[in-house]
Structure 1
Amino acid sequence: MKTLWKGLCAAAMVGLTMLPARAEEKSITMGTMSWEDLTPITGITKKVLEDQGYTVKVVEFAEWGIAYAALAKGDVQILASQTDYVAQDYWNKNKKKLEKISPVSHGLFQGVAVPKYVTIDSMDQLNDNADKFGGKIVGIEPGAGLMRDTGNAVKEYGLKLQLVEGSTAAMTAALKSAIDRKEWIAVTIWEPSWMMQKYDVKFLQDPKAVFPPPQSYYWIGQKGFSEKNPHAREVIASVYVPLADITGINGAVSDGKTMDQAVSDWTTAHADLLKRWENIKGE
């Protein structure tokens, strides 16, 4: 009987050791903001993950608060974000539930810009030329971090110019119209942006350092994502998209391509780079 029992136990142990390790989940839901800097990052990372056998669903958000709430809650697993300044408040509020996975780009810069033919170079020169700018700085959507920073700059510099809320499309149209007429205009703008590539503009110097320094983009996830998904984490961490490439992709979109086509063209042109990124073996 003892011999039979030992045999059964041995067989059971062999069976257990032959069971496969728990497979890593191969489906990922990533969030993104529907903005021109984050959309290319999301599209490129999605492509690399799909090439590694993952099924990737992308959920677009229009506001940081909703995106961070969805990530903390688990409605999405990862999100590309700037955590140091642009979305700092949302990161600080939720960071106990989140983790940084890896940096994916660097160099985001935001500020007030003017056409290069405008003969001022600094924020503290705006008041002396307020009439030439029509007494206003043309802004974008009221919820953007850039608008918050510009509002702070108006106060810090004691500007007589009004910061006008609107939309990115309306600001772009106003910038184009002013440049066509060689008129003076001050706008809120950022790099990477196809506008910086297409229009001959310059950022105004910021001697009071109201606007943040160049910022990094990170992939962030729910706390524990990297531990639960070690291979996906390695794939995501391999991806790095230079700021100039993001600008180039959006330049192609402004010239008539869809974002999907522009991202596809970029990944095709960088096939060797993607192969190096994807040279990661799953467990």
Structure 2
Amino acid sequence: MKEVQRRTFFVLIITLLLLISAGCSSGESKKNSTESNQEEKDKGTIHIGLQNWAETIAIANMWKIVLEDKGYDVKLTSVTKGALYSGLADGSIDVNLEVWLPHTDKPYVDRYKDEIVKHDRWYKNTRLGLAVPEYVEIDSIAELNANKEMFNGKIIGIEPGASLMKLSENVVNEYNLDYDLIESSGPSMTAQLKKKYDEKEPIVVTLWNPHWAFAVWDLKYLDDPKNVYGEADNVYWFSRKGFEGEFPEVTKYLNQWDMSHEQLSSLMNVIRQTDNQPKKGAAKWIENHQKLVKKWVTVEE
């Protein structure tokens, strides 16, 4: 009987020790897991500057989601083009995702070339110009003066200070257009375009590729025989000095980033179809393009 009691006592002791050991191991595991998660969330804060252009808003929100999933804190700051470049130069902004070169953004890049850093191209063959609905029966900027009444003497533009607006001012002068170039914004311009298009009325707007409007409406650029808008650009991303050293992983991601016209247009379209909620729309697009996104963020050691 005593032998049985002794064996039972030892079994209880061993069981208790195993439970204590398991508890310590579990606690340590939870601690390590918590520390790992905390480390994952402490990769740093990245400030992305953006203009109020449809594609800029789309790609900025897309990268915000992708980078936050990788453990970074991402802040989006909407500014004018001039403030975007000066912020990049003084370090208050880390990244500008959309720089058109060698033509459109050249004046800004030249001004701040010693304080900002050029990185890889992610989109090729952009276009800028004056666009009208396909049903409008003119095909060239040179025809605008003869059809002034058709358009009420107005060209609907976007934000003042945008490179597209500066080039459009040059177009008005070079072609001696008797038109008012109306300053507004990207969303305001597309709202006016939609209204006129729905009513099948003429309208001429400043527009660019990439833009979701071409996927929604049947539009055409007016020929530019004097080539004031220039040749096609490519789109690059720029950073402040020192960014690559502080965020080497993010730099690799962005350098591997590449989008076709169809991919970028689809991203903008999904956002538009999601009640113009950039974060929600970008998340939906990412979910449907996992293979592409994985390609961008896979870094070989």
TM-score for both structures, normalised by structure 2: 0.78
1:161 to partner: Cα distance: 2.1
Distance 1:253 1:276 in 2: 22
**Partner amino acid for 2:279?**
D
Residue 70 of structure 1, aligned match among 84, 87, 91: 87
Distance 2:107 2:200 in 1: 39
Residue 74 of structure 2, aligned match among 34, 54, 57: 57
Distance 1:216 1:87 in 2: 10
Matched, 1:280 2:299: yes
1:262 to partner: Cα distance: 1.4
Could you say what secondary structure the match of 2:120 adopts? strand
Residue 230 of structure 1, aligned match among 236, 248, 272: 248
User: Which structure dedicates a bigger proportion of its chain to helix?
Assistant: 2
Please say if residues 46 and 75 of structure 2, whose CA atoms lie closer than 8 Å, have aligned partners that are also in contact. yes
Give percent identity, aligned residues only: 31
Counterpart residue number, 2:283? 264
Deviations 1:208-230 (A, max 9, x none): 11113232222211234334543
Counterpart residue number, 2:125? 107
1:197 to partner: Cα distance: 1.8
Please say if residues 28 and 77 of structure 1, whose CA atoms lie closer than 8 Å, have aligned partners that are also in contact. no
Distance 2:159 2:86 in 1: 21
Distance 1:171 1:49 in 2: 31
Matched, 1:207 2:251: no
Could you say what secondary structure the match of 2:194 adopts? helix
Distance 2:244 2:187 in 1: 38
**Partner amino acid for 2:287?**
T
Distance 1:167 1:44 in 2: 22
Gaps of 5+ in 2: 1-41
Distance 1:47 1:174 in 2: 31
Distance 2:198 2:66 in 1: 41
TM-score for both structures, normalised by structure 1: 0.82
Distance 2:200 2:247 in 1: 54
Counterpart residue number, 1:245? 263
1:119 to partner: Cα distance: 1.3
Distance 1:82 1:128 in 2: 36
Counterpart residue number, 1:153? 171
1:114 to partner: Cα distance: 0.9
Q: Where in structure 2 are the equivalents of 1:1-283 lying within 5 Å?
A: 26-33=43-50, 34-51=52-69, 53-84=70-101, 85-255=103-273, 256-281=275-300
Mean alpha-carbon deviation: is it higher for 221-230 or for 265-274?
A: 221-230
Q: Tell me which structure has the larger Cα radius of gyration.
A: 2
Please say if residues 134 and 218 of structure 2, whose CA atoms lie closer than 8 Å, have aligned partners that are also in contact. yes
Which runs of structure 1 show a deviation greater than 6 angstroms over 4 or more consecutive aligned residues?
none
CA gap 1:209/1:274 in 2 versus in 1, 3 angstroms: same
1:28 to partner: Cα distance: 4.1
Distance 1:42 1:90 in 2: 20
Gaps of 5+ in 1: 1-24
